[in-house]
Amino acid sequence: MEKQISFVKAEHDVRPGFRRDLSVAESTEDVKKFFVYAAKGLVEKALEGKVSLENGDIHLDPRQEDGFAASGRLLDNQDFLNAWNNSDLRPILKRMAGAAAKRHLHLEKHTEKTESKIFHGR
């Protein structure tokens, strides 16, 4: 059995900016974008640059069980796959996706706020 690796320190480095970004998100597209930025930062910090995320490698998908989806290209990367299977990377991304999904749902339910900011300038 392989030793479990923890990336909680990387999560703690990324979390404050991610929370701040979610709190100022004005649309569901903002939420998706901020999730991708945070996930990219987390993966690159956790894997010390061994894996570079490209557009579409990870995206918020509230319909998925984990709340996000990872691309086949990413899951084919041995360094990423090793971390995916032998660390807390997936649960950390799942927590982040959960927070983003809540904000996404809130903004979907309250589109009038978003529309008023867009069309009337706050």
- What lies within 8 Å, CB to CB, of 100 at 6+ separation is 22, 31, 32, 34, 35, 60, 67
Average confidence (pLDDT) over 64-89: 94
Q: Beta-carbon neighbour count of residue 84 at 10 Å? A: 16
Q: 3-class DSSP state for residue 51?
A: coil
Q: Pick 116 or 14 by higher pLDDT.
A: 14
Q: Global pTM?
A: 0.86
So what's the pLDDT on residue 116? 55
When pLDDT is cut at 50, 70 and 90, the band that residue 111 belongs to is confident
